[in-house]
C-alpha cells in the first residue's frame, strides 16, 4: 500500500498565491463584489477605518502607558490624540450617515435585509463605542501619568534647585554675608553696588526659573484642556449611544424573554431527541436508512447550535448583554459578507 502526500505541494501553492495576492498581481474576479449594494460598501469602508483607528489607538496606548520621565513624547501623544479624536468624530458622522441611508431605503428593502442592515449599523456603532471607551481610558491613564510625573518632577526639582544651583544659594549666602558685612563692617558704597549687582542677578535667575516653570505649566494646561475637550466630545458620543441603546430596549427585552422561552422548549426537545437518537442508534434497521440518520443528525446539530447560542444569551445577565450578543452576531454576518 503506497501513497503520496501532496499536502506540502498544496500548501506551498497556497502560500505562493497568497503572496501574489498581497502584491496585487492577481485581480480576483470581482463580479460578486459588483452585486453588493452601496450599503455594504459604505459599511465595509467604515469597518476598515475603524480597524485603522484601532491600530492608532494601540500606538497611543503604548505611548501613554510609558512611565519614564525622560522618554516622554508629549508632542507625538498630542498629535495622535488629535488624530484619533478626529477619526472618531468622522466615524461617528459616517455611521450616522449610514443609518440615515438605511432609514432612507427602508421601503425598498425586504424585511430581512432591513434587519441585517440594522444589525450591521448597530454593530459598527458598538465597535465605535468600544473604541471611544478605550480612548477615554487611555486619556485617563495619560492624565494620571502626567500628574504622577508632575509630582515626581516637583520632588526632584526642589532638590535639584538645591544641588544644581549652588551659585544662587551661595550668592544668597554671600549676599547675606555681604549684608552682614555691610551692616557690621560699615562697608563702602562699592560694596553696596556689588550687593545690588548680586541681588539683581539673583532676581534674574529667579525670573528665568519662573519663566521656565510658567511655560511648562502653560504647556500642561493646554494638554489638560485638550484632554478635557476630548472627553467632553466623547461624552456627547456616549450620550448618543445611550440614546440608541434606549431605542433598542424594547426589542431587546422581547428577545430576552423569547430566548428564555426557547431555551426551555429546546431543552425539552433535546432530551426527547436524545432519547430517539439512542433508540435509533441501537436499531439495526438504521443501516439501511441513511437518510433517516442524516435527518436526525442535521436536526441534532441545529438543536445544538440553538442550544449553544442560548447559553451565550443566558450567560450575560444584564439587559444590554443580549444586545451586545446580537451585535456581535450581526458582526459575524458582516464578516461573512466581506
Contacting residue, 82, 156, 193, 301, with another protein by CB under 8 A: 301
- Residue 87 CB, nearest approach to another protein (Å): 31
What does each C-alpha distance from 99 to 51, 94, 131 come to in angstroms?
A: 20, 9, 19
**9/260 with CB nearer another protein:** 9
> By CB under 8 A, is residue 273 in contact with another protein?
no
Task: Name residues whose C-beta falls within 8 Å of residue 188's C-beta, 6 or more positions apart in sequence.
Answer: none
Which residues neighbour 73 within 8 Å (Cβ) at sequence distance 6 or greater?
A: 63
**5 contacts another protein (rule: CB under 8 A):** yes
| Comparison of 253 and 304: residue with beta carbon closer to another protein | 304
Min separation Cβ 338 and another protein, Å: 13
Chain centroid to Cα 91, Å, comes to 13
Contact letters for another protein, residues 161-190 (x by CB under 8 A): ------------------------------
Please spell the DSSP secondary structure of 211-276, one letter per residue: HHHHHHHHHHHHHHHHHHHHHHHHHHHHHHHHHHHHHHHHHHHHHHHHHHHHHHHHHHHHHHHHHH
Q: Report 7-46 residues binding another protein (CB under 8 A).
A: 7, 9-11, 13-14, 17
Q: Which of 290, 315, 317, 318 binds another protein (CB under 8 A)?
A: 290
- Between helix 290-315 and helix 320-337 the angle, nearest 10°, is 130
Distance CA 155, CA 137 (A): 27
CB of 118 to another protein, least distance (A): 25
Which residue's CB is nearer to another protein, number 190 or number 290?
A: 290
- Give contact residues for another protein (rule: CB under 8 A): 1-7, 9-11, 13-14, 17, 284, 287, 290, 293-294, 297-298, 301, 304
Amino acid at each position: 500500500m503506497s501513497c503520496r502526500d501532496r499536502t506540502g505541494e498544496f500548501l506551498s501553492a497556497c502560500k505562493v498565491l497568497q503572496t501574489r495576492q498581497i502584491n496585487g498581481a492577481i485581480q480576483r474576479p470581482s463580479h460578486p463584489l459588483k452585486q453588493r449594494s452601496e450599503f455594504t460598501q459604505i459599511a465595509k469602508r467604515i469597518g476598515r477605518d475603524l480597524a485603522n483607528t484601532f491600530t492608532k489607538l494601540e500606538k497611543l496606548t503604548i505611548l501613554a502607558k510609558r512611565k519614564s520621565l525622560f522618554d516622554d513624547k508629549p508632542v507625538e501623544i498630542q498629535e495622535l490624540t488629535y488624530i484619533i479624536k478626529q477619526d472618531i468624530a468622522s466615524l461617528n458622522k459616517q455611521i450616522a450617515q449610514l443609518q440615515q441611508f438605511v432609514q432612507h431605503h427602508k421601503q425598498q428593502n425586504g424585511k430581512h435585509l432591513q434587519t441585517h442592515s440594522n444589525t450591521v449599523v448597530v454593530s459598527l456603532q458598538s465597535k465605535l463605542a468600544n473604541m471611544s471607551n478605550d480612548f477615554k481610558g487611555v486619556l485617563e491613564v495619560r492624565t494620571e501619568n502626567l500628574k504622577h510625573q508632575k509630582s515626581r518632577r516637583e520632588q526632584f526639582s526642589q532638590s535639584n534647585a538645591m544641588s544644581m544651583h549652588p551659585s544662587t544659594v551661595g550668592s544668597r549666602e554671600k549676599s547675606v554675608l555681604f549684608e552682614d558685612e555691610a551692616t557690621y563692617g560699615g562697608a563702602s558704597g562699592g560694596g553696596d553696588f556689588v550687593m545690588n549687582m548680586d541681588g539683581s542677578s539673583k532676581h534674574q535667575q529667579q525670573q528665568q526659573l519662573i519663566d521656565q516653570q510658567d511655560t511648562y505649566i502653560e504647556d500642561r494646561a493646554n494638554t489638560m484642556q485638550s484632554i478635557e475637550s476630548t472627553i467632553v466630545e466623547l461624552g456627547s458620543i456616549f450620550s448618543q449611544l445611550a440614546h440608541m441603546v434606549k431605542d433598542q430596549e424594547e426589542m431587546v427585552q422581547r428577545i430576552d424573554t423569547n430566548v428564555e422561552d426557547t431555551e426551555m422548549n429546546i431543552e425539552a426537545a433535546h432530551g426527547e431527541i436524545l432519547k430517539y437518537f439512542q433508540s435509533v442508534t441501537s436499531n439495526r434497521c438504521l443501516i439501511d436508512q441513511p437518510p433517516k440518520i442524516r435527518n436526525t443528525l442535521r436536526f441534532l446539530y441545529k438543536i445544538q447550535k440553538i442550544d449553544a447560542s442560548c447559553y451565550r444569551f443566558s450567560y450575560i445577565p444584564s439587559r444590554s448583554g443580549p444586545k451586545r450578543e446580537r451585535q456581535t452576531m450581526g458582526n459575524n454576518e458582516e464578516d461573512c459578507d466581506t
